[in-house]
Amino acid sequence: MNSLNATDRLRRLLAVIPWVVDRGGASLSEISSYFDYPAEQLVTDLEEVLFMVGVHPFTPDCLVDVFISDGFVEISYADWFRKPLHLSPEEMFRLIVAGKSVSEYLGTDELGSLERGLMKLAAASGSAVEDVVEVNLGIQDRGVLEIFKEAQRENRRLRIKYYSYGKNEENSREIDIYRLFADKGHWYAEAYCHKAEGLRIFRLDRVRQVENTDEFYIPNDELLESFGSIKEIFSPKEGTVPSVVLLLPEEEKWVIDEYPHYAAVQEENGDWKVEFPVASPAWLARLLLRLGPNVQLVKAPESLGETFRREVAQSILKGYEEATPQKGQSGVSS
């Protein structure tokens, strides 16, 4: 942060003062890094502003005492600034959201300290944030999530039966879990897949079967270091997979919010021209069919163009022309 306004500096100073007093002093570099306070600005504020602060009649014995020597700061006679600050509703909200998110991940036996902390904060703030905010990170599949968490903790290899959305098929593989995360309502595992010989993403609600193996893995540091943000996981780098350009009417703009894209430009008539990476043909097939025939395929590799769209529609339609599947089959009532 380059330039701080008076409010930014006041917020920081009010946090810095009791912190420094409680520790009996702190180094300038420590304060600067912990409170995100540019060193030069910090020195000016301590020496030229805080030094002049105090109470009536502002004689030396009524002023804050700031002493800086060899980069070490000591502050005394600053009892007026020892009252703890109230958390703003937004800060409370952020803490509650973080706490509730993590609660969903943790097992009930692990929740103690976090729950107590959240309850104390909520009680002290007198705000109802805790009661009115609800956080659901993913479709609950507690069983799979628990097994994955345990496997990650033990570095134990898992054998799974998995429905691959991209290939629209079920297959078996062995995986070593590197991280678990939630995004847009689903839990995922990023894991080394021994079948694909690389890192792959698995959505937990698509895991059909899971069993522990007797094998253990040593986490590969290079893989661990290669992890980017969650957003990056779902946005393939340009050029690594084919892409298509679609012309979307304004009412189909949700697609831009929903899926990773390289570029989105609004045309004069209000339509959106958007380039999407296509990680699998099945994904594109679903999208095109959902959007309808009015969405124009502006640019696409031959294998993913108009013919592709027509053939997918045709194949589903064929199912409707065949005999209704429920007839002629012996069924078991649920």
Partner 1 sequence: MSKLERLLNLIAALTETSRPITRDGIKEKLPEGTYSDNKESFRRTFERDKEELKNIGIPVIFDEATQGYFVESNELKESGSYLEPDELAALHIAFNLVRIESTGQEDPFWKLGPSSETSKDIQPLTEIPLDPSLNTALTATTEKRMVAFAYKGEKREINPLRVVFNRGRWYLVGYDLDKKAIRNFRVDRIEGKVELGEINSVDSLNQEDLQLNVFPWRYGEESNFKVTMHVEALHAPWIVNYLGENSVKKINTDGSVIIEEEVNDWKSFRSFALTFLDGVKILAPQKCKEDMQAWLRSFL
What residues from 206 to 235 belong to the interface with partner 1 (CB under 8 A)? 206, 208, 227, 229-231
Which tokens is 97 given? 């959201």
270 is a site residue for partner 1 (CB under 8 A):
no
- Chain positions 84 to 123 lying near partner 1, rule: CB under 8 A, are 84-95, 97-99, 101-102, 105, 113-114, 116-118, 120-121, 123
Q: Which amino acid is at 11?
A: R
Residue 251: CB minimum distance to partner 1, A = 11
Q: Which amino acid is at 317?
A: L
- Backbone torsion region of residue 77, taken as left when φ is above 0, otherwise alpha when ψ lies between -120 and 50, otherwise beta: left
The SS3 of residue 245 is: strand
Residue 39: CB minimum distance to partner 1, A = 17
Q: What binding mask, one character per residue, do residues 302-331 give for partner 1 by CB under 8 A, x or -?
A: -------xx-xxxxxxxxx---xxx--xxx
- Please state the length of the chain: 334
155 is a site residue for partner 1 (CB under 8 A):
no
Residue 154: CB minimum distance to partner 1, A = 18
Give the residue, chosen from 69, 132, 198, 268, that forms a contact with partner 1 under the rule CB under 8 A.
Answer: 132
- Cβ contacts of 32 within 8 Å, gap of 6 or more: 38, 39, 42
182 is a site residue for partner 1 (CB under 8 A):
yes
d(CA 292, CA 172): 34
Which tokens is 139 given? 């479709």
298 is a site residue for partner 1 (CB under 8 A):
no
Residue 213: CB minimum distance to partner 1, A = 22
176 burial (CB, 10 Å; 0-12 / 13-18 / 19+) is buried
How, if at all, do strands 243-248 and 296-299 pair? antiparallel
CB atoms within 10 A of CB 313: 14
- What are the phi and psi torsion angles at 272 (to 5°)? -110, 130
- Chain positions 236 to 255 lying near partner 1, rule: CB under 8 A, are none
Residue among 129 and 300 whose Cβ is closer to partner 1: 129
Residue 273: CB minimum distance to partner 1, A = 21
Which tokens is 269 given? 């008539």
The SS3 of residue 16 is: helix
Give the residue, chosen from 65, 74, 141, 150, that forms a contact with partner 1 under the rule CB under 8 A.
Answer: 141
Q: What binding mask, one character per residue, do residues 36-75 give for partner 1 by CB under 8 A, x or -?
A: x--------x---xx-xxxxx-x-----------------
- Whether the bond between 57 and the residue before it is cis, its omega within 30 degrees of 0, is yes
Give the residue, chosen from 2, 3, 7, 269, that forms a contact with partner 1 under the rule CB under 8 A.
Answer: 7
